[in-house]
Structure 1
């Protein structure tokens, strides 16, 4: 009986894989997407049941992928391997999106910068600060995480930013951070700290091109908002 049950599950899994290979996820409901994905982390359980548990608990695919590891581990049958796989998905998606970006082109506009930098905040629950370094033609050199936690820009020192910028031989840089669960509006502390960083960088010949603040669905450019001292 156990052998027959295993054979039935194996046959179903193979059919689902073939269905995906033929038509992609277009014909799958959300629980079907999770069911198929979890085949690769949960080999001996009914992942359809686990998929429904996940959606019932977190409400949507976005809710599932944005849940913490600890929250995911509470789902019966998922296990550490399943939770780890689900946590990988947003980061793989973000890396894929960034890998498609043309790093040889100029990143001079807030729109283009925002489109690129937004991928660093996919599924983020923590507040994070990044530094994007650019060459003389505004092409990307690198992107570095400066801080993670409850963001207070005064904790991100101008010296640390200057050292990282000089190490990359950057001509200009862009700061980016997110307001987790809030609006993409700079606080008074954000403005004060950003202007201090702008002045410190200017003293060593590096331009603070912009500071972008992200929320879940949007971002604001401090330069376009006229909030930097040297805003044009």
Structure 2
């Protein structure tokens, strides 16, 4: 069987109808399609000179790895030859929908029993962020996630992270405990002295408020470190 992925320069009219991406999806299921073919379906049409498969292949070459597409901006996509504003918007909408669906899978009253659980909940969204985000999970007495909130965006600094902002929200949500987390865009989750200092300040405020800081998770490139497991709390 000849697949369109093997010959990216083929025009669709040169490919047997049964082997075209949309027809293969209908007949064999979406899992049978290559990344190139999935992108081609999203783009829908090519140009007078190039097939949609050729343009889809160019998208993959531009971003090298499929997961890099989640970082793509509108300007980057529309700069690719053969892609206009409409096609760029279609791609970005599909990427965002996929991200939201992935997050939704872990958002429904997720129970956190370990640092790994917390990381599983947070990594899908936080490992791809280009700036540092400081996020707090508010938990009930069963360690179920009541609410997730980004407290601030930017480099972690003890003068910026105010425990009162965190615990004001915790009281509002009737949270029994909290878990703090932030990402390192460098991909390396090793804690800095500032990370440890901020954690201790939040933990001390929690003792006074009667709301336990369970852990502080630092997220890198699909890896994490628990400050509690490392003995910093």
Shorter-chain TM-score category? Answer: 0.7 to 0.9
1:22-47, Cα deviation, whole Å (9 max, x unpaired): 323443232112111222xxx56443
Distance change >3 Å, CA 125–CA 109, structure 1 → 2: same
**Structure 2 CA distance for aligned equivalents of residues 89 and 153 of structure 1:** 38
**Structure 2 CA distance for aligned equivalents of residues 166 and 119 of structure 1:** 27
**1:177 equivalent in structure 2:** 182
**2:4 equivalent in structure 1:** none
**Structure 1 CA distance for aligned equivalents of residues 158 and 124 of structure 2:** 21
Report the TM-score, using the length of structure 1 for normalisation: 0.81
**Structure 1 CA distance for aligned equivalents of residues 156 and 133 of structure 2:** 7
Of 163-172 and 17-26, deviating more is: 17-26
Distance change >3 Å, CA 212–CA 89, structure 1 → 2: farther
Alpha-carbon distance, 1:189 to partner: 0.4
Report the TM-score, using the length of structure 2 for normalisation: 0.81
Gaps of 5+ in 2: 1-11
Choose from 70, 74, 79 the match for 1:65. Answer: 70
Distance change >3 Å, CA 179–CA 85, structure 1 → 2: farther
After TM superposition, list the pairs within 5 Å mapping 1:177-196 onto structure 2. Answer: 177-196=182-201
**Structure 1 CA distance for aligned equivalents of residues 21 and 198 of structure 2:** 53
**2:88 equivalent in structure 1:** 83
Gaps of 5+ in 1: 1-6
Choose from 87, 96, 116 the match for 1:111. Answer: 116
Q: Say how many residue pairs are matched.
A: 218
Q: Please, what is the CA RMSD of the aligned residues?
A: 2.7
